[in-house]
């Protein structure tokens, strides 16, 4: 029997038909739709079509694929994309046949399609260079695959667009029997050019990572490529351009607001650096820049993986993801603004499905923190905060300039002293478990339980501060 897994993000136009297609196969006993924070009716439509819907634990296609795998009950799993059409009736039977006949462990679908620019321009040339034995596979990036659950559970899932290629290369390296099945022509939505640029970067990074891991490229080359990509992604102009347009803006602090606890404290506890960190924590005799640089220096030599694992392991505040999704559905652009490190902020952003993050950039070399930090240029503004050289208020000003909005369009949420300027400036501000009376006084509202309390406050869903919005849809 077969488990079908469908990772989705805003696929309301097609998800019902894809689920119905999968359920028509007599070999399929379950269809699992993994929602990546959709803002439309995708989850409800998937349930109506007969799928079991779960929410991804981390923003990104790869994380959704892995979550679906661990939820699957059958040994044979098949992945479909949620935006497909024109599928052949016997696709799932043919795709899984090599596995059912014990001829393969991992099957890639071969097909023709209208798009495929990333495949043509990046994946296939690099595969031919580093993995020539796999050059015969037509769609190395294709998301239509079948495999043994026991094989996939031992492979690494990239969290972004590199996931399909990474699984393909890892399965080959693990000695799995690979096969390709021609499924004809399919219709698949094309991505806009800016998305294709991100996809190409992630695919190249994944392929070079595997080339290094399997002794086809030196590790130093991969780390340099990865660090260049990470630095480029943090450029202020690029971050601002990707925010896009929205009716309103919501800015959230990270520590103590979206996360239960402080990232640097958890990192220090994990790396036995609490004694050193105490010299800097909330030491307002030092400037914000001195504190930030001093804290960064403490973590020199800590592996990048430890930063990432710490950010993924920390518990979220109750209702964090639900609140962010509800605000985005209401037309907000939601950002995380933190004095901490961007490597953590980006992971938290993906965990709660926010649109962007602003934070300071820790530098890494050979997979370890250098202790050197690039201060976020968004924290400074020529007409910004008169009290602090680095301030979250300045971030708000940059983003408002980009979006063409005004402070009257801003919701700000925080808990600490470094949030006060932002809370004072926003039209609607919320203190979450405020750390002091000064923070409490700076906010227009205070909440003490779940972040979903925020959704019942006046002024959140419109500019009339006397109107409250029901929250049944996010309960």
pLDDT band at 283 (very low <50, low <70, confident <90, very high): confident
- 228: pLDDT confidence band, cut at 50, 70 and 90? low
Q: How many CB atoms lie within 10 A of CB 453?
A: 18
Residues of the chain above pLDDT 90, percent: 57
Whether 428 shows a pLDDT value over 70: the answer reads yes
As a whole number, mean pLDDT of residues 387-406 equals 88
* Alpha carbon distance 327, 411 (integer Å): 10
Domain with CATH 3.40.50.1000 in the chain: 236-474
Give the lowest-confidence range in 213-222, 297-306, 464-473.
464-473
Mean pLDDT (whole number) for 426-447:
93
Q: Which CATH class is domain 236-474?
A: alpha beta
**Which residues, at least 6 apart from 31, have a Cβ–Cβ distance to it below 8 Å?**
3, 4, 6, 19, 22, 23, 50, 51, 52
pLDDT at 474 (0 to 100): 30
Q: Are 12 and 82 in contact (CB under 8 A)?
A: no
Q: Is the pLDDT of residue 186 over 90?
A: no
Q: Are 192 and 178 in contact (CB under 8 A)?
A: no
Domain limits, CATH 3.90.550.10, in the chain: 2-207
- 2-207 has CATH 3.40.50.1820 classification: no
What's residue 197's pLDDT?
Answer: 63
pLDDT in tens, 128-148: 878 888 888 888 888 899 999
Average pLDDT, the chain: 86
Residue 281 in contact with residue 275, Cβ under 8 Å?
A: no
Sign of the four-CA dihedral 153, 155, 156, 162: negative
> How do residues 286-326 score in pLDDT, each as one tens digit?
788 888 899 999 999 999 999 999 999 999 999 999 999 99
Q: How far is CA 58 from CA 44, 226, 351, 373, in A?
A: 20, 20, 4, 26
| Local confidence band at 51 (pLDDT 50, 70, 90 cut-offs) | very high
User: What is the three-class DSSP state of 190?
Assistant: coil
Provide the CB-side half-sphere exposure for 471 (13 A, CA). 20
pLDDT at res. 465: 39
- The CA-to-CA distance between both ends of the chain, in Å, stands at 35
Given CA atoms 20, 22, 23, 24 in this order, what sign does their dihedral have? positive
Angle CA 339–430–373, to nearest 5: 5
């Amino acid at each position: 029997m077969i488990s079908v897994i469908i990772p989705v993000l805003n696929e309301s136009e097609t998800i019902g038909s894809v689920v119905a297609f999968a359920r028509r196969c007599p070999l399929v006993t379950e269809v699992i739709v993994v929602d990546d924070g959709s803002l439309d009716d995708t989850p409800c439509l998937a349930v109506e079509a007969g799928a079991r819907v779960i929410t991804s634990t981390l923003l990104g296609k790869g994380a959704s694929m892995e979550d679906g795998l661990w939820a699957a009950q059958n040994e044979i799993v098949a992945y479909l994309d949620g935006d497909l059409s024109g599928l052949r009736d016997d696709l799932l039977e043919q795709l899984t046949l090599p596995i059912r006949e014990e001829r393969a462990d991992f099957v890639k679908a071969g097909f023709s399609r209208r798009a495929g620019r990333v495949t043509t321009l990046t994946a296939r040339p690099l595969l031919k260079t580093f993995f020539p034995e796999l050059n015969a596979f037509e769609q190395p990036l294709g998301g239509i695959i079948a495999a043994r659950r026991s094989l996939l559970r031992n492979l690494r899932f990239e969290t972004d667009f590199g996931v399909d290629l990474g699984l393909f290369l890892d399965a080959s390296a693990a000695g799995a029997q690979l096969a390709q099945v021609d499924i004809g022509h399919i219709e698949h939505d094309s991505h806009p050019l800016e998305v294709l640029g991100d996809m190409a970067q992630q695919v190249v990074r994944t392929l070079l990572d595997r080339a290094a891991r399997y002794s086809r490229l030196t590790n130093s080359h991969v780390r340099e490529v990865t660090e260049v990509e990470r630095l480029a992604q943090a450029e202020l102009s690029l971050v601002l351009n990707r925010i896009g347009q929205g009716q309103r803006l919501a800015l959230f602090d990270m520590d103590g607001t979206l996360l239960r606890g402080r990232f640097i404290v958890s990192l220090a506890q994990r790396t036995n650096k609490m004694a050193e960190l105490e010299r800097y924590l909330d030491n307002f005799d030092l400037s914000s820049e001195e504190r930030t640089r001093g804290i960064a220096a403490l973590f020199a030599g800590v592996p990048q993986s430890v930063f990432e694992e710490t950010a993924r392991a920390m518990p979220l505040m109750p209702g964090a993801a639900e609140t962010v999704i509800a605000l985005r559905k209401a037309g907000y652009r939601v950002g995380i603004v933190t004095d901490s490190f961007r490597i953590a902020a980006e992971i938290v952003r993906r965990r709660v499905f926010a649109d962007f993050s602003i934070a300071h950039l820790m530098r890494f070399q050979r997979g370890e923190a250098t202790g050197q930090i690039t201060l976020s240029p968004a924290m400074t503004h020529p007409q910004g905060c008169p009290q602090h050289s680095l301030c979250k208020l300045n971030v708000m000003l940059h983003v408002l300039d980009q979006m063409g909005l005004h402070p009257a369009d801003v919701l700000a949420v925080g808990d600490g002293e470094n949030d006060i300027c932002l809370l004072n400036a926003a039209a609607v501000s919320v203190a979450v478990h405020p750390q002091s009376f000064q923070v409490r006084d700076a906010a227009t509202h205070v909440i003490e339980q779940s972040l979903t309390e925020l959704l019942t406050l006046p002024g959140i869903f419109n500019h009339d501060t006397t109107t409250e919005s029901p929250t049944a849809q996010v309960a």
